């Protein structure tokens, strides 16, 4: 029995560590993501925006005069004008003005190359943009302010940039990446792995021996949990040394959430893999579960921007529960009792899906 256990466990580790792709996606990719996004949003905020300018033919054009007198010719792009404004603590903004015809401007807008189009009619500047687009709306506020000669910074208000731990974007991002990494690792590692073994007819070969099926599942779970822990340690270590991200709350609560989150996704993996016959269908199933959660559960950006009717549903998605719990421990200093509800939900549903999955599991 012990021999079987150690052999199965060592096989699981060997399979994982001999697959460079698995190592990359589990360890390197989350670190690269956190580095790229962390750097992009942690650096001094320098904003760049693009506006197409449709200049009328007449010599008395206000826009033409504005570009010639207030902007500099771009050194890199012919015909383009640039204007830099330093809003001090609000950061620098470079606006690129691109003279173009209306048709060219429309094409650039469709391609997402510009945020706003400026035209002139009877001495008035017209701003063309989609108000539902936040970047276009911001471009309108900044460009119209520049052209009207207004100062965006009010003399009555003072901007105080937050630099404390837990309030930066990287603090928001790291717990999300941890949760997402564990979800992907479990679903792809366990579900896909089992489905692949079934489609290769290896599962039926394994069970046509005196092998203990329970040992096979247990060793798979242990190995996946060890990988989840290693992934967590790797990403947290990186985030600590590069961005000074630390766990402000209880380490026990953090460990409990990692265990319950991993357990939930392991249970789900077994259920997903229980009847799926081939890897193509498995691929579809796993993507159908992971993709919506990655988009909705506030991994990269807060889910508070979604419509109000969706928020209560999003809040109870497993990945949201997992990521929000990690966030509240890492950034807000929560302890076990503060996150007991998501902890119980994840553990109980994980256990339920695991037993249902095992009950209906098709070994052949």
Partner 1 sequence: MTDANTQPIVKAVNIKKTFKDVIALAGVDLEIMPSEYTALLGPNGAGKTTLVEIIEGIQKPDSGEITLFGKHWSGNKDELYKQIGLSFQETKFEDKLTAAETLKMFASFYGLDNTRVEEILNIVNLQEKRKSYVVNLSGGQRQKLALGIALLNNPKLLILDEPTTGLDPTARREIWSILHELKKTHGTSMILTTHYMEEAENLCEKIVIIDKGKVLAKGTLEQLIAESKTSEIVQFKVLDKSKFPDFSKFSDLREIQWEDSTNIVTMNVDNTSSFLPKMVSYLNNAGCKISELRCRYVTLDDLFIRMTGRKLTD
Asked if residue 19 binds partner 1 (CB under 8 A), the reply is yes
Specify the residue, 150 or 204, whose C-beta has the smaller distance to partner 1.
Answer: 204
Choose between 246 and 278: whose C-beta lies nearer to partner 1: 278
Contact range with partner 1 by CB under 8 A, out of 13-21, 153-161, 172-180, 340-348? 13-21
Pick the closer one to partner 1 by CB: 19 or 46.
19
Phi, psi (deg, nearest 5) at residue 95: -105, 125
Using rule CB under 8 A, residue 11 touches partner 1: yes
**Sole binder of partner 1 in the list 39, 208, 230, 251 (CB under 8 A):** 208
**Which residues pair with residue 72 across a beta bridge?**
82
**Of 11, 34, 336, whose CA–CA distance to 193 is shortest?**
11
The footprint of partner 1 on this chain (CB under 8 A) covers a number of residues equal to: 21
Separation between Cα atoms, residue 267 and residue 355, nearest integer Å = 8
Asked if residue 157 lies in contact with residue 147, where contact means CB atoms within 8 angstroms, the answer is no
From candidates 89, 150, 204, 275, binder to partner 1 by CB under 8 A: 204
Can residue 213 be called a binding residue for partner 1 (CB under 8 A)? no
Distance separating alpha carbons of residues 241 and 35, to the nearest angstrom: 11
Q: Give the Cα separation of 54 and 103 in Å (integer).
A: 10
Q: Given the rule CB under 8 A, which of 36-44, 204-212, 241-249, 332-340 is the region that contacts partner 1? A: 204-212
Cα of first residue to Cα of last residue in the chain, in angstroms, is: 23
Q: How far is the CB of 205 from partner 1 (least distance, A)?
A: 5
Residue 194 interacts with partner 1 (CB under 8 A)?
A: no
Q: Does 201 bind partner 1 (CB under 8 A)?
A: yes
Of 141, 136, 181, which Cα lies nearest the Cα of 28?
181
For partner 1, the closer CB: 108 or 203: 203
Work out whether 89 is an interface residue with partner 1 (CB under 8 A).
Answer: no
Q: Report if residue 78 touches partner 1, rule: CB under 8 A.
A: no
Report the alpha-carbon distance of residue 247 to residue 165 in Å, rounded.
10
Q: Is residue 25 helix, strand or coil?
A: helix
Give the position of tokens 């930066």: 168
Among 14, 73, 89, 362, binds partner 1 (CB under 8 A): 14
List for the chain the helix, strand, coil content (%; round to 5): 65, 10, 25
Contact positions toward partner 1, by CB under 8 A?
3-4, 6-8, 11, 14-15, 18-19, 200-202, 204-206, 208-211, 364
């Amino acid at each position: 029995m012990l021999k079987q256990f150690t052999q199965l466990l060592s096989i699981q580790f060997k399979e994982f560590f001999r697959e460079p792709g698995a190592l990359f996606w589990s360890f390197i990719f989350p670190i690269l993501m956190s580095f790229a996004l962390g750097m992009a949003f942690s650096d001094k905020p320098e904003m760049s925006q693009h506006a197409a300018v449709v200049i009328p033919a007449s010599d008395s054009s206000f826009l033409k005069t504005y570009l010639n007198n207030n902007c500099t010719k771009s050194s890199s792009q012919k015909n383009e004008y640039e204007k830099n404004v330093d809003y001090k603590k609000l950061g620098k903004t470079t606006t690129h003005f691109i003279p173009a015809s209306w048709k060219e401007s429309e094409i650039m807008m469709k391609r997402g190359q510009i945020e706003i189009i400026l035209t002139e009619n009877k001495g008035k500047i017209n701003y063309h943009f989609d108000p539902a687009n936040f970047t276009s709306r911001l471009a309108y506020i900044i460009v119209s302010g520049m052209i009207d000669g207004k100062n965006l910074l009010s003399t009555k208000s003072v901007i105080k940039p937050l630099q404390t731990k837990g309030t930066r974007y990287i603090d928001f991002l790291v717990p999300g990446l941890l949760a997402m990494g564990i979800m992907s690792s479990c679903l792809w590692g366990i579900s896909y792995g089992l489905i692949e073994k079934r489609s290769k007819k290896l599962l039926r070969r394994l069970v046509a021996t005196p092998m203990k099926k329970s040992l096979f599942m247990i060793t798979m779970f242990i190995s996946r949990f060890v990988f989840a822990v290693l992934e967590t340690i790797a990403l947290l270590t990186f985030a600590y040394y590069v961005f000074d991200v630390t766990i402000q709350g209880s380490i026990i609560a953090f460990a409990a959430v990692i265990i319950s989150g991993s357990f939930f996704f392991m249970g789900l993996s077994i259920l997903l893999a229980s009847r799926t016959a081939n890897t193509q269908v498995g691929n579809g199933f796993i993507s159908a579960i992971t993709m919506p959660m990655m988009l909705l559960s506030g991994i990269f950006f807060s889910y508070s921007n979604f419509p109000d009717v969706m928020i209560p549903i999003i809040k109870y998605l497993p990945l949201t529960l997992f990521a929000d719990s990690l966030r509240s421990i890492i950034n807000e200093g929560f302890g076990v009792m503060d996150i007991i509800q998501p902890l119980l939900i994840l553990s109980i549903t994980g256990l339920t899906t695991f037993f249902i999955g095992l009950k209906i599991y098709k070994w052949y």
